[in-house]
Amino acid sequence: MNAHATDPAPRLPAPATHSVFGGADPGRIGRVTRAVGAVAARPGLLRIGTRGSALAVAQTTTVAEAIAAATGLDVTLVIVTTQGDTSRAPLAQLGGTGVFVSALRDALAAGECDFAVHSLKDLPTGACPGIVIGAIPERADARDALCSRGGVPLAELPAGGKVGTGSPRRAAQILAGRPDLEVLDIRGNVDTRLARIEHDLDAVVLAAAGLDRLGRGGVISERFPLAEVPTAPGQGALAIEVRSADAASDPYRTALAALDDPTSHACAAAERALLASLEAGCAAPVGARAEVSGGRLRLSAAVYRLDGGARLDASADAAWEPRGDATDDVAARLGRAVSDRLLADGAAELAPLGNRA
């Protein structure tokens, strides 16, 4: 693994709107560094925008290493502070997890970085002018994870116990299984949330993928099965955004091709198509699970009443082959089909679904 530089970035030429690149030596693997402050474009360097949390840096580093290996160019992480990083207000009040995205997109559009890495579940489903998702790497564990005092599973938490989460979906799912528990809204990074288990909470629910990427999988008491507890559309997957004008040219094209996993891309696209068709925000109480088996892409979804007292389910599948643009078409059709079934069964009356609320 390449070392991360912690020293200030060297003095570089004046910023350019887009990066310019020199040819890399065949077989060369570029260096991966982490910049302090802004980094101007220069030949032989690709810049990746990321949030500054430990989790964001860890997952972006894996992307940077793959790009450095594929292109032979040096890659540096450019830290961008987002509204979601500075505000302590509940995510639902801030407009959902999209608050983690806009500053990164602004930096990308302004030429301050060449790629932006997001947790896919944080990305709004609407199009962003001038920016596209260029790749979705192989997905990590999409399940939610319970981390509890004493390592007990959800069924063994004490009656009236307190569980922390910042997600209305997770809150509804917890209450569906244990209506006696008290669910509290919490914010903060992974370590901040875990620390509360020994302070004022009996458990917290986090994404298993994030804990695994941080090497913290050992704190997990229980991983909830996706068939019973579907998670946020795109959970466990990363999205690599790029300026649309650059996506088809090298070295961007080479980097994105090395990163993209067709199966993960198809599953995530179907889940996001469902969310878009429901006109639901990232924080809506909607769980989704897509999988590929036997040449078919299957999408299942659930919509919850916020108190966990009711749930609607729907699913659909379609033939699928990893053939570029066809993936997005199949995913969009599946998302609409499952959304139509949920809405026909009363999903908009059961839960707040964005514009339908």
Q: Which secondary-structure segment (H or E) carries 328?
A: helix 325-344
193 catalytically annotated: yes
Extract the tokens encoding 312.
């609607």
Report residue 41 as tokens. 């474009």
The structure tokens listed for 40 are: 């101007």
Q: Which of 74, 105, 114, 122 is catalytic?
A: 122
> Which residue among 169, 243, 289, 298 is the active-site one?
169
**Residue whose tokens read 């302590």:** 88
Query: Is there a catalytic annotation at residue 141?
Result: no
Catalytic-residue membership of 122: yes
Whether 187 is catalytic is: yes
Provide the edge-to-edge strand list for the sheet that holds 74-79: 32-34, 74-79, 45-50, 115-119, 238-243, 131-135
Instruction: Choose the catalytic residue: 31, 42, 149, 187.
Output: 187
For tokens 């032979």, name the residue.
72
Kind plus residue range of the DSSP H or E element containing 290: strand 286-293
The number of beta carbons lying within 10 Å of the beta carbon of residue 295 is: 8
Pair of tokens at residue 115? 């790629």
Q: Which residues contact 166 (CB under 8 A, 6 or more apart)?
A: 90, 91, 185, 186, 187
Which residue is catalytic, options 193, 243, 272, 298? Answer: 193
Helix (H, G, I), strand (E, B) or coil at 224: coil
Active-site residue flag, 143: no
Q: Enter the tokens of residue 103.
A: 């500053």
In whole angstroms, give the CA distance from residue 157 to residue 135: 40
Q: Is 77 exposed, middle or buried (0-12, 13-18, 19+ CB in 10 A)?
A: buried
DSSP tag of 299: E
Is 123 in contact with 275 (CB distance < 8 Å)?
no
Catalytic residue among 121, 143, 178, 272: 121
Instruction: State whether residue 141 is helix, strand or coil.
Output: coil
By annotation, the residues acting in catalysis are: 121-122, 169-170, 187, 193, 282
